[in-house]
Amino acid sequence: MKIFAIGRNYAEHARELGNEIPEAPVIFMKPDTALLAPGAPFAYPEFSSDIHYELEVVLRICRGGRNIATEDARTHYDAITLGIDFTARDLQAKCKAKGLPWEIAKSFDGSAAQGEFVDVPAESEYRFSLRKNGVVCQDGNTRDMLNGCDSLIHHISRYFTLSPGDLVYTGTPSGVGPVSKGDLLEGFLGDRKLLTCTVV
């Protein structure tokens, strides 16, 4: 099982971090040890003092393939959920300043929370949000993606063979921020809560 993640897929998020808007999807990967089971707590790692939440729509691949056409992409994922790409922002900043890869900031153990999977909504655009301790801190809509879900499947499959069970974290909207021990994070697809994660 592979976990693909997309960086800077919402223009406002790219701007809030002072990043350029990319011309093509920015792909990075997380190992399977990064994945948290639904409802599992996130253990704040000892190597960082600035962990941020990034809520994302997550696709579950049901049919594998390579060089998948955009118009066929929808037949390759059968469910979605919400996930949190936990990011060690302090480590990421140090790596980026030196032009180094930043997997240690994005791909560490437990850095990929996931919620309950549901059928893909019939509508082509849908709203999702994150509440931290009951307060909405991210409120996004898939219509604002720079690269939509089907386009992402096409782009990723140009370079990597997709397999059933693979996950695609599709990028985060603006509003990212830090977490602290004791925080309760809840992800909603529309009004339906799919994700709950406590920081410990």
- Interval 54-77: pLDDT, tens: 999 999 999 999 999 999 999 999
Average pLDDT over residues 1-17: 84
Write out 83-108 in H/E/C secondary structure: EEECEEHHHHHHHHHCCCCCHHHHCC
What are the φ/ψ torsions at residue 111 (nearest 5 degrees)? Answer: -85, 0
15 falls in which pLDDT band (50, 70, 90)?
Answer: confident
17 falls in which pLDDT band (50, 70, 90)?
Answer: low
Tens digits of residue pLDDT in 104-161: 999 999 999 999 999 998 887 999 999 999 999 999 999 999 999 999 999 999 999 9
Mean pLDDT of the chain: 95
pTM reported for the whole predicted model: 0.95
Cβ atoms of residues 54 and 113 within 8 Å? no
Number of Cβ within a 10 Å radius of residue 153: 26
21 falls in which pLDDT band (50, 70, 90)?
Answer: confident
- Poorest-pLDDT segment among 10-24, 37-51, 119-133: 10-24
Distance of CA 171 to the CA centre of its chain: 5
Topology at the third CATH level for domain 3-198 = Fumarylacetoacetate hydrolase; domain 2 (3.90.850)
Ordered by start, the domain boundaries in the chain are 3-198
Whole-angstrom Cα distance, residue 8 to residue 58? 15
What's the Rg (C-alpha) of the chain?
16
